[in-house]
């Protein structure tokens, strides 16, 4: 919401419009205190209404955006989730190509990817498939369903979408001189071997990284 005047400042400005002999009147002061409170409430309501015209600021107005774009209206979903879906639909209106699809992915994964390309898009013409490789994290992102919904709304019906996720391989583990399951083994990775008794191989595939500082057990 836009920065608004507080009640005290509103009352002061209202007083400036009155003759000076009212400035010391207790009755006028009490009247302005009441009226400035109402003016402040009106200003906030107007500002909140104007916010609904901008997706990044909209709250209760998101349902109007969703209805206009023929998106499902689910008020139980987080506001940021709904805003990302609306923005991805708006950005996807027009010619559907790799650039547009990348814009959609950036809108959805903007925070997680820290401004870099969150995905790699490959067109497999012989298979009538668009391959989406997730780049910014290992495993399946939490918002992948949101991305899939947005892309399914955009791409032609005869094309299918294939998602590719990255996981730690045994080759990466070997290259770090890491012995999986060895409680006293030396390692150049971020995983303390003592922590391995508490995680599965699937979990290990998501957290293993040779390039970050070592995380010790507590």
pLDDT reported for residue 216: 36
pLDDT reported for residue 176: 66
- Measuring CA to CA, which residue among 125, 143, 122, 123 is closest to residue 133? 122
Mean pLDDT confidence for 209-213: 51
Tens digits of per-residue pLDDT, 137-193? Answer: 888 898 898 889 888 878 888 899 999 998 877 777 666 655 555 544 455 455 555
pLDDT reported for residue 77: 81
pLDDT reported for residue 193: 53
What is the distance between the alpha carbons of residues 153 and 93, in angstroms, rounded to a whole number? 10
Mean pLDDT confidence for 124-147: 90
Res. 217: pLDDT tops 90: no
Q: E-strand spans in the chain?
A: 119-124, 129-134, 160-164
- Measuring CA to CA, which residue among 104, 91, 99, 108 is closest to residue 151? 104
- How is residue 137 written in tokens? 């994290």
Please report which confidence band the pLDDT of residue 195 belongs to, taking 50, 70 and 90 as the band edges: low
- Measuring CA to CA, which residue among 80, 63, 81 is closest to residue 72? 63
Q: How many residues does the chain have?
A: 218
Please report which confidence band the pLDDT of residue 210 belongs to, taking 50, 70 and 90 as the band edges: low
- pTM to 2 decimal places: 0.52
């Amino acid at each position: 919401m836009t920065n608004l005047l507080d009640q005290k400042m509103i009352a002061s400005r209202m007083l400036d419009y009155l003759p000076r002999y009212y400035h010391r009147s207790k009755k006028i002061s009490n009247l302005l205190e009441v009226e400035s409170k109402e003016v402040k409430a009106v200003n906030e309501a107007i500002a909140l209404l104007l916010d609904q015209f901008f997706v990044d600021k909209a709250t209760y107005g998101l349902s109007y955006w969703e209805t206009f774009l023929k998106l499902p209206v689910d008020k139980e979903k987080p506001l940021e989730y709904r805003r990302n879906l609306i923005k991805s639909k708006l950005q996807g209106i027009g010619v559907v190509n790799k650039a547009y699809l990348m814009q959609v992915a950036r809108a959805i994964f903007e925070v997680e990817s820290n401004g870099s390309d969150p995905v790699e898009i490959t067109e497999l013409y012989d298979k009538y498939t668009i391959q989406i490789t997730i780049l910014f994290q290992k495993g399946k992102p939490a918002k992948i369903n949101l991305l899939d919904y947005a892309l399914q709304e955009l791409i032609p019906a005869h094309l299918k979408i294939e998602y590719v996720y990255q996981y730690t391989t045994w080759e990466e583990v070997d290259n770090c001189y890491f012995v999986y399951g060895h409680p006293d083994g030396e390692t150049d990775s971020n995983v303390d071997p003592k922590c391995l008794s508490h995680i599965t191989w699937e979990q290990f595939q998501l957290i293993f990284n040779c390039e970050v500082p070592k995380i010790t057990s507590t």
